[in-house]
Amino acid sequence: MKKLKIFYLSLFAALLSVVSCTKDLDQYPTVETTAEQVYTSIDGYRSVLAKLYASFAVAGNGRGDEDPDMAGATASWGYLRVYFNMQEVPTDEVIYTWAGGENMVGLQFMNWGASDTWVNAMYYRIYYSIALCNEFLRNATEERLAAFTASEQTEIQTFAAEARFLRALAYSHAMDLFGNVPFVTENDAVEAFFPPRIVRSDLFDYIEQELIAIEELLPAARQNVYGRVSRAAAWALLAKNYLNAQVYTGTERYTDCINYSKKVIDAGYSLHNDYKQLFNADNDQRSNEIIFPIEAQVEQTTTWGATTYLVNGPIVGSMQAGNYGVLSGWNSIRTLREFVATFDPSDSRGDFWTDGQSLDVNDPSVSSQGYGLVKFTNLYDDGTFNTDEGLVNTDFPMIRLADIYLMYAEAVVRGGTGGSLQDALTLVNQIRNRVFDGNSGEISTDQLTLDFILQERGRELFWECTRRTDLIRFGRFTGSNYLWQWKGGTLDGQSVDTRFNLYPIPTTDMASNPNLIQNEGY
């Protein structure tokens, strides 16, 4: 497994420069010479923990992803930018202008292969984050911590639980995107070796066990420092995996989804009253709803990926960049007619930009085709902004309460026990009441169907990296049950082979690790 071997062999080098993307840790780049030096103080552990969080946001240790973590064509593409493309670009929510120039044609038209640039980028980003977490955990054993004070040991043990959550998150993405994948933990040797293959259902079980094991080790819900995980994040990730368990394992777990969704719902979180403020530069103030963010800050998290990509990319045509807190639009991301059609005109979430834009997309490379839609902005609540060449301060809500409400509702409608249809209806109407005038958007019990829930998830969570997973769960990503413009590379969309429900294992790993088996159809 050539590239994974490189990760493990060069991991100490990766840890030499530790830079925070989290405002609370507030670490500036420092240089250490060996792991032995890094792991000799509580500050050293805290710095490496910052790097673990940062691996989901930035692609390197310098400004604008300079001093990259990884070599090759994907060096400047950070985890979140790649993850967004994998989860959104092949769906009805996105049409991308520069697909040809950015090697995204296969992704856009659902015709990728095992050598696809973005498939490779996601795979190795996932395993880079996993490798960092594993190395941290190798250095958080009882033996390594024996020299620290009791209070320091307790703090580092909390750091270790956070590392286990971040690894579980990365492995959850691997399970969702790739299925049967290589499996490495802190218990494996650091030297180069061929990681064994774990089947999807066994990986599901491992992630479940890890999240349950760290539940009581993490800070209580709403008692964590913003930007770092609490046990509510573990509950939420469990609920999401349980919601998709039928896909991952062949066995439904809707009752478990309800139980863990209720844990989050009962923990004291609440919906923020202004939907758009959840996605602006002051959204670090929305910890009542945002349970776990990927943080951004102009001065410290300097990446052209993450939310910099999500703020600048969708500004197209006659839209004025200053109205969104940046200097220029990238004319990259628009949306498609089928997605537009799911919105009621009174739904403020469907704030489409139509001036100079056509609804139909006859040529994906023409940025004036497809409505514009900006979800993320770099504006503060008062309308001012701070940017540096388009870099932003907007955090990405990886987990937020509205998603938990919708997961609870779906699990109830699908037949899970332990919840009630009336409670599900109440939660869905709370979501809708904040984006409609008064209660004009409320629905009845009869309207709370699976079809409605899929559309509501799209309306509420668009561009939050859920769409591909949702469409697969509903049987509408591949096949012909649901067509949208340019699905499968044709103007009006066409049926797509079910093999595209999973991405392939990259050719480089297939060639170098004899333990792997390629996903069916590739």
Tokens of 154: 């307790």
Average pLDDT of every residue of the chain: 92
CA 58, 62, 63, 68 dihedral sign is: negative
- Predicted pLDDT of residue 300: 82
Quote the pTM value. Answer: 0.93
Query: Do 43 and 79 form a contact (C-beta atoms < 8 A)?
Result: no
- Distance between CA atoms of 182 and 170, rounded to whole angstroms? 12
Do the bridges between strand 333-334 and strand 372-373 make them parallel or antiparallel, or are there none, so unpaired? Answer: unpaired
Could you read off the pLDDT of 182-218 as tens digits, one per residue? 999 999 988 788 999 999 999 999 999 999 999 999 9
Contact 439, 429 (CB under 8 A): yes
Q: Quick check: 178 pLDDT over 90?
A: yes
15 burial level (CB within 10 Å; 0-12, 13-18, 19+):
buried
pLDDT of residue 280: 98
Phi, psi of 226, deg, nearest 5: -55, 135
Backbone φ, ψ for residue 11 (5° rounding): -65, -40
20 pLDDT higher than 60: no
| Strand positions, DSSP E, 471-517 | none
pLDDT of residue 34: 62
Report how far apart, in Å, the C-alpha atoms of 69 and of each of 16, 61, 78 are: 11, 7, 9
Task: Dump pLDDT digits (tens) for 434-457.
Answer: 999 989 999 999 999 999 999 999
Does position 152 have pLDDT exceeding 60, yes or no? yes
| DSSP characters over 133-164 | HHHHHHTSSHHHHTTS-HHHHHHHHHHHHHHH
Q: Are 66 and 303 in contact (CB under 8 A)?
A: no
pLDDT tens for 368-385 read 999 999 999 999 999 999
Residue 64 is predicted with a pLDDT of 66
Q: Among 22-31, 152-161, 242-251, 285-294, which stretch is predicted with the lowest mean pLDDT?
A: 22-31
pLDDT (0 to 100) of residue 75:
62
Segment 460-475, tens digit of pLDDT: 999 999 999 999 999 9
What domains appear along the chain, each with residue ranges and CATH number?
A: 2-249 (1.25.40.390)
Mean pLDDT, rounded, for 147-175: 98
Give how far Cα 451 sits from Cα of 251, 423, 454, 482, Å.
21, 18, 5, 12
In this prediction, residue 231 has a pLDDT band, given cuts at 50, 70 and 90, of very high
- The residue written with tokens 């296969």 in the block is 106
In 3D space, the residue among 213, 216, 268, 207 whose CA is nearest the CA of residue 242 turns out to be 207
DSSP states along 19-38 = ----TTT-PPPEE-S-HHHH
Mean pLDDT of 38-64: 90
Q: How big is the CA angle at 479 (ends 478 and 485), to the nearest 5 degrees?
A: 75
Gap between the Cα atoms of 229 and 216, Å rounded: 12
At 253-282, the pLDDT tens digits run 999 999 999 999 999 999 999 999 999 999
Q: Residue 70: its pLDDT value, please?
A: 74
